[in-house]
């Protein structure tokens, strides 16, 4: 009997820790980060569709996001300051990530490899997927920003500079969906449970703000 370890390796993303160079009040792994980025990608696309008249495939974006860090099951999570230290180092890391993506895709049953190759990044992307990757990248940055905001709100100034830098990067994206999320949704992430409960009760009686 042939065994395919594709899904078993993906489950091991929960063992890959993020923010390894930073002192955190709460640890985070790549599996939960991938879920958060999938959720945020779907949300950004839905904001684009419902508020700005776009026609984005939110479900496809969520799928791309779910697998966007899958090769890290082999490479680990390389801290951004290390990865972006210089162009040569970044190019080498990109090559290693591509090798990891190819290795992981090859572990799926052959009839399924064509399904997962574009999700994991081992095939030429369609025009639609290239556009959606912009939303996945924005969602990835938003999740990093929210992590920094949580840590700073908890009194951990280790993340203060990272929060500011990530916020500046998000502003550079010039995406109305990102601006909407940061203005109307991100502030709730720094609230206590009691504050969230009160806010939820109040919001039921407010008109939609755009």
Residue ranges per structural domain of the chain:
6-203
Q: In the prediction, which pLDDT does 53 show?
A: 97
| Residue 142, pLDDT score | 98
Provide mean pLDDT across the span 62-85. Answer: 83
Q: What pLDDT is stored for residue 82 in this prediction? A: 63
**If we measure between CA atoms, which residue out of 120, 118, 162 comes closest to residue 13?**
120
Lowest mean pLDDT among 39-48, 88-97, 194-203: 88-97
Residue 210's pLDDT band, with cuts at 50, 70 and 90, is low
Band (186; pLDDT cuts 50, 70, 90): very high
Burial state string for 38-53 with b = 16 or more CB within 10 A and e = fewer than 16: bebbbbbbbbbeeeee
Residue 2: in which H helix or E strand, if any?
A: none
Please provide the average confidence, as pLDDT, over all residues in the chain: 91
According to CATH, the topology of domain 6-203 is Hypothetical protein af1432 (1.10.3210)
For the stretch 105-143, pLDDT in tens is 999 999 999 999 999 987 888 999 999 999 999 999 999
64 compared with 85, residue with greater pLDDT:
64
pLDDT band of residue 86 (cuts 50, 70, 90) is: confident
What is the number of other CB atoms lying within 10 angstroms of the CB of residue 181?
A: 21
Across residues 168-175, what is the average pLDDT?
94
Q: What three-state secondary structure class fits 185?
A: coil
Q: What is the pLDDT of residues 3-23, one digit of tens each?
A: 999 999 999 999 999 998 899
Residue 203 and residue 183: Cα distance in Å, rounded?
15
pLDDT of residue 134: 96
pLDDT for 155 equals 94
Token pair in block for residue 134: 């912009």
């Amino acid at each position: 009997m042939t065994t395919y370890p594709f899904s078993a390796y993906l489950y091991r993303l929960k063992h890959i820790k993020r923010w390894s160079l930073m002192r955190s009040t709460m640890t985070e792994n790549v599996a939960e980060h991938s879920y958060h980025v999938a959720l945020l990608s779907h949300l950004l696309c839905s904001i684009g569709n419902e508020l700005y008249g776009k026609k984005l495939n939110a479900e496809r974006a969520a799928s791309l996001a779910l697998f966007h860090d899958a090769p890290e099951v082999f490479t680990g999570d390389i801290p951004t300051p290390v990865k972006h230290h210089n162009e040569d180092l970044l190019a080498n890391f990109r090559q290693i990530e591509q090798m990891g993506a190819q290795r992981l895709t090859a572990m799926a049953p052959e009839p399924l490899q064509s399904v997962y190759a574009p999700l994991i990044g081992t095939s030429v992307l369609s025009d639609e997927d290239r556009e959606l990757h912009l939303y996945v990248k924005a969602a990835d940055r938003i999740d990093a920003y929210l992590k920094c905001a949580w840590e700073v709100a908890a009194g951990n100034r280790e993340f203060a500079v990272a929060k500011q830098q990530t916020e500046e990067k998000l502003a550079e994206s010039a995406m109305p969906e990102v601006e909407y999320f940061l203005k109307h949704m991100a502030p709730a992430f720094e609230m206590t449970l009691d504050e969230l409960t009160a806010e939820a009760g109040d919001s039921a009686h407010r008109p939609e703000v755009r």
